[in-house]
Structure 1
Amino acid sequence: MNLGLEVFLIGFVLFWIILFLLRKKLENKGFNIYPLFLMWRKSTRAQWFPNFSTSKFYRKFENIAIVLGIISMIGGIVLIYYTLTGLIFHPTTTTARLEPIIPGVTISISYLPYILLALGISVTLHELAHALSSTSNKINVRNGGFILIGIFPGAFVEPDEEEFMKSNLTSKIKIIAAGIAVNLILAGIFFPLATYLPPYLSQGILVESVIPHSAAYNSSISAGDIILSINGIRTTTFSQLSYALDKATNYSILLKTTNGSIITTHAYSASHFLGIYVTYAFPSYLLPILEFFTWMFIINFSLALLNGAPLVITDGGKIFTEILKKINLQYGEKISYGLQAIFLMSLIYAVMLSVST
């Protein structure tokens, strides 16, 4: 176990022990604390930004949100079963995985600040959309607050339950789908920033590791070196690197070494394979920004599909239930919960297979 993970685990355990010991005092301030779960609830304003939430712009957004909510619900179901069938029938070749984010286990601890920041922003905007749509559809908001599960933050708003149940199906779906739509829109915004922006900002190809006894290894290329060009062809993107390698078998490689020196080394590979694992090389000040963009996409896309999927406790589950209740007033709710239980068990099985294969 590395030092960073040890410090994180010690801090994590101490944090929750202190919170649990102080739970009686904190209860007077609206906190509810259980092992690895904290919730703070407070009565909030009944209406949220009424001028904006009743504007033509926001009303158009709500109509779009209904479509995006349905798309996310279907997309979530497809994601679960696409992953599940791939892991069952093609376990060795499928790339589809549904692995949980566990700092220090499935991802590096170094990503944690970006994840928490992206999650905090995404969940807050998600819940704000619920509150705005409640006001837009003339339903008061009674409570709001935040939760903490382990290390992961969350937020919530609670529309007046009686007013919500009396509202029509369209209003209900608008309120529920607004949060899903915000996450899907944010994913759409940050996808190009995370995918297409980095090549334009790259200063070269950073060598992350070198395969022993490969062409790169024999040419003394080391992890941390930056490939600036090959045979005079600039290499700031993966496509440029591939093009340069495919054009020849003898390579004159311009490198920026880990100590900042610019050198030229030579390599030969009849197979056009250098034997390196690479990523983009960015100025140090850009790395946090680009990492944040990446996690904003990952978090929002995951929230849109998994929260959009009908899984009993999700927004997609609420939409699914309201639609089936409208179709079959007597048995729609029972049918909905039965199907959602099947979807949820399928998700759990897909996650278990993702971790074990």
Structure 2
Amino acid sequence: MGLLGTLTYAILGILIFWALISILGTSMRSESLEIAPFQIIWRTKKFINFIDRIGRKYQRFWKIYGDLGIITGFGGMIFVLYYFAKQAYNIIRPIKPVTMPSVQLVIPGVTIPLVYGLIALAILVIVHELSHGFVARSEDIPLKSVGLLLFIIIPGAFVEPDEDQLKKAPLRSRLRVFGAGSFANFVVALISLLLVNGIALAFEPHGVEIAGTIKDSPAYNVLQKGDVIIGINGMKIETLEEFMEFMNKTRPNEEITLTVIRNKKIINISIILGEHPERAGKGFIGIYPTQHWISKIGFDKPLTIVLTTFYWIYVLNFGVGLMNLLPVIPLDGGRMLIDTLTELSPKFGKAIGYSIMLISLLLLGINLIPAIRGFVG
């Protein structure tokens, strides 16, 4: 099943789920539970005391933390605008435009793994919102509620500050609150990256795993997804680099013998290579190769699960944390930009801010073009 087919079934399942929620919604609604199209929100005041206690007890720490969030926030804003502008130019330029997506839609089970993605997203929103809450209380800004939400299929958490009090707070206090969320995501991303690198030391390369085959290629219906190539023509293959180096020396119609691990059994498979579609005179097998790893200390599956979990925690916290700094309301980056410009120039600040937002939305739209093309084929 292709990506478009998977997406179609995913959308159908989501629509059925929300249709049932809509039917049952009348009996489920309460003062603390709000049900809207594709959205469920549960509010409570139970955790406000905990957030208040942590925010007030370590007030000095959270103020420094918030200041670091301001610096990181504006730095991230400049970086994401520069990156989007650079990628937008590469996408729309007439000579060799970029076709790989610079922005990917986050859809658990479709564009990211379902379980790992949901775990990473849950951690992302919890640390993001708690940071907003802790910093808000350190700045004497009261909280109205905290809660959980489900938006389409993405779980979330939120801290709801008193907006009237937030607007009356000094600019620096507001910027601390806005910048704290993404800063928390970057801290979690850094910790996760260090853990990934540490766990990775327990692994060593052991062959080339086949992530898929190209239709009508020599490997199609011969090799299978999950096969691990550990040798070619009797030569041991451990790394992806060794595999690519060997294949770069092959020619069309050349027969090679692959030593493959399939279902924990070692088998030999002979394949006659085709001609590479983009490099005349070069052999072509037609697979999507990835590096295969095994643990040096055993416990391959548990370690792989832990490694993959922290990898996705790193990827989503960094990526979404950075996207949250795009200067577009209601994102934190947009609120930081508008509040700062309005404070600096009450007459022209808002107009300048909204102009930057329009440019940001245009750049985001251009950067999404490759990702959308990937869905529709």
2:104 touches 2:111 (CA, 8 Å); kept in 1?
Answer: no
Over 3 Å counting, the alpha-carbon distance change for 1:54 and 1:205 in structure 2 is same
Q: Report matched runs for 1:1-357 at 5 Å.
A: 11-43=13-45, 45=48, 47-50=52-55, 53-56=58-61, 58-90=62-94, 92-94=96-98, 95-102=100-107, 107=111, 111-191=113-193, 200-210=203-213, 223-229=225-231, 235-242=237-244, 255-263=259-267, 271=282, 275-282=286-293, 283-352=300-369, 354-356=371-373
Deviations 1:28-63 (A, max 9, x none): 24222121122223335261414663254x444333
Report the CA distance between 1:208 and its aligned residue.
3.0
Report the CA distance between 1:327 and its aligned residue.
1.1
2:42 touches 2:149 (CA, 8 Å); kept in 1?
Answer: yes
Deviations 1:78-126 (A, max 9, x none): 233223222111575413432423467x637xx2222222111101110
Report the CA distance between 1:14 and its aligned residue.
3.7
Q: In structure 1, what residue type is equivalent to 2:287? A: I
Deviations 1:261-298 (A, max 9, x none): 23466789895865532123354444443432332233
Q: For residues 259 and 26 of structure 1, what CA distance do their matches in structure 2 show?
A: 48
Over 3 Å counting, the alpha-carbon distance change for 1:222 and 1:347 in structure 2 is closer
Report the CA distance between 1:165 and its aligned residue.
2.5
1:231 touches 1:244 (CA, 8 Å); kept in 2?
Answer: no
2:249 touches 2:282 (CA, 8 Å); kept in 1?
Answer: no
Report the CA distance between 1:320 and its aligned residue.
0.4
The gaps in structure 1 that reach 5 residues or longer are: none
1:204 touches 1:227 (CA, 8 Å); kept in 2?
Answer: yes
Q: In structure 1, what residue type is equivalent to 2:77? A: M
Over 3 Å counting, the alpha-carbon distance change for 1:209 and 1:12 in structure 2 is closer
Q: For residues 192 and 284 of structure 2, what CA distance do their matches in structure 1 show?
A: 33
Q: For residues 350 and 210 of structure 1, what CA distance do their matches in structure 2 show?
A: 28
Report the CA distance between 1:303 and its aligned residue.
1.4
Normalised by the length of structure 1, the TM-score is: 0.80
Report the CA distance between 1:75 and its aligned residue.
2.1
SS of the equivalent of 1:177 reads: helix
Q: For residues 196 and 238 of structure 1, what CA distance do their matches in structure 2 show?
A: 21
Q: In structure 2, what residue type is equivalent to 1:332? A: G
| Aligned-residue CA RMSD (Å) | 3.8
Q: In structure 2, what residue type is equivalent to 1:67? A: I
Deviations 1:187-228 (A, max 9, x none): 3333465689658354432123456665x78xx765433123
The gaps in structure 2 that reach 5 residues or longer are: 274-280, 294-299
Over 3 Å counting, the alpha-carbon distance change for 1:142 and 1:84 in structure 2 is same
Aligned position for 2:278 = none
Q: For residues 330 and 149 of structure 2, what CA distance do their matches in structure 1 show?
A: 15
Q: For residues 167 and 212 of structure 2, what CA distance do their matches in structure 1 show?
A: 58
Q: In structure 2, what residue type is equivalent to 1:276? A: I
SS of the equivalent of 1:79 reads: helix
2:207 touches 2:240 (CA, 8 Å); kept in 1?
Answer: no
Report the CA distance between 1:156 and its aligned residue.
1.7
Over 3 Å counting, the alpha-carbon distance change for 1:127 and 1:146 in structure 2 is same
Normalised by the length of structure 2, the TM-score is: 0.77
Q: In structure 2, what residue type is equivalent to 1:179? A: G
Q: In structure 1, what residue type is equivalent to 2:290? A: T
Q: In structure 2, what residue type is equivalent to 1:54? A: Q
Of 347-356 and 267-276, more deviation after overlay is shown by: 267-276
SS of the equivalent of 1:22 reads: helix
Report the CA distance between 1:229 and its aligned residue.
4.5
Of 118-127 and 243-252, more deviation after overlay is shown by: 243-252
Over 3 Å counting, the alpha-carbon distance change for 1:277 and 1:7 in structure 2 is closer
Q: In structure 2, what residue type is equivalent to 1:159? A: P
Report the CA distance between 1:16 and its aligned residue.
1.6
Percent sequence identity is 26
Q: For residues 34 and 5 of structure 1, what CA distance do their matches in structure 2 show?
A: 23
Report the CA distance between 1:67 and its aligned residue.
1.5
